[in-house]
């Protein structure tokens, strides 16, 4: 009995000490983040009512269209969706309205029309129609790159020529990625040509991010890791906030 009580006290002590240590650890690691987040939310609350700014995130490919295949076998469509969801969650948490063209593993073509041999084109049209309906402050296409030679790596951003603001968003992302994630990345932003279907026809500010090369073994391994996708999402998030609050 006495032994059991002692054991219980000991267990309680171990629990309290472990809990305190964990709490201290969290405070040290995330204190600044939650403080600044709290300040941001407080400012947002003080400024209400404000119209929420809206972002449309478009995870490329899906369903029977896997996109490019990584050297480790990972499919582009899955990484696009995962990264979009992390990015979207952080943006929503910060008070922005976020719409995703797809939240499932599927293409976005109209199943009620004769889609045989036209799935890819109808899929792109479907995404463009969503963009026209939503009319976001910024459209963000999320993709992964590939090239026959394995040596190429690094994130790159395309922007739509239809709206001057698109280039501003692309430039902020390029700068932040270079400063915070990829110091050796010398890739310049590029105006989308007519072969990037959505960016060529979209009426709102729009960019397409090629997050990295799945043909490069090192970068493919990074992009396959949830931790790296979360890091990249935070860099994209802070860039998008800079763009929207300019
Ligand atoms: Zn793609």
Whole-number Å distance, alpha carbon 238 to ligand 1 midpoint, is 23
Tell me the pLDDT tens digit for each residue of 177-232.
Answer: 999 999 999 999 999 999 999 999 999 999 999 999 999 999 999 999 999 999 99
Distances (CA, A) of 104 to 30, 108, 118: 31, 10, 20
In terms of phi and psi (left: phi > 0; alpha: psi -120 to 50; beta: otherwise), the region of 95 is: left
Judge whether 154 and 222 are in contact, CB under 8 Å. Answer: no
Distance, in Å, from the CA atom of 143 to the CA atom of 56, rounded to the nearest integer, reads 14
Whole-number Å distance, alpha carbon 144 to ligand 1 midpoint, is 5
Tell me the pLDDT tens digit for each residue of 97-123.
Answer: 999 999 999 999 989 999 999 999 999
Beta bridge partners of 75: 69
DSSP assignment of 95-126 equals: T-EEEES-SSS-----TTS--TTTHHHHHHHH
Whole-number Å distance, alpha carbon 9 to ligand 1 midpoint, is 58
pTM: 0.80
Residue with tokens 């390029």: 174
Whole-number Å distance, alpha carbon 39 to ligand 1 midpoint, is 37
Whole-number Å distance, alpha carbon 68 to ligand 1 midpoint, is 7
Token pair belonging to 225: 């890791």
The mean pLDDT of the chain is 86
Distance, in Å, from the CA atom of 161 to the CA atom of 204, rounded to the nearest integer, reads 10
Judge whether 125 and 115 are in contact, CB under 8 Å. Answer: no
């Amino acid at each position: 009995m006495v032994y059991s009580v002692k054991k219980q006290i000991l267990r309680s002590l171990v629990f309290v000490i472990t809990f305190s240590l964990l709490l201290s650890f969290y405070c040290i690691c995330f204190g600044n983040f939650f403080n600044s987040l709290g300040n941001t939310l407080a400012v947002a609350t003080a400024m209400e009512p404000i119209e929420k700014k809206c972002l449309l995130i478009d995870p490329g490919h899906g369903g029977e269209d896997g996109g490019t295949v990584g050297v480790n076998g990972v499919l582009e469509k899955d990484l696009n969706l995962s990264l979009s969801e992390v990015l979207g969650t952080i943006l929503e948490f910060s008070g922005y309205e976020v719409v995703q063209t797809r939240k499932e593993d599927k293409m976005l073509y109209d199943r009620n029309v004769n889609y045989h041999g036209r799935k890819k084109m109808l899929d792109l049209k479907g995404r463009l129609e969503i963009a026209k309906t939503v009319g976001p402050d910024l459209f963000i296409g999320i993709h992964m790159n590939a090239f026959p030679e394995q040596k190429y790596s690094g994130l790159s951003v395309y922007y739509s020529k239809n709206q001057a603001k698109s280039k501003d968003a692309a430039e902020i992302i390029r700068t932040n990625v270079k400063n915070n994630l990829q110091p050796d990345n010398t890739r310049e932003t590029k105006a989308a040509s007519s072969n990037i279907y959505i960016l060529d026809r979209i009426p709102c500010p729009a960019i397409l991010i090629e997050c990295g090369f799945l043909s490069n073994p090192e970068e493919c391994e990074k992009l396959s890791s949830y931790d790296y996708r979360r890091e990249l999402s935070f860099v994209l998030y802070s860039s998008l906030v800079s763009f929207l609050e300019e």
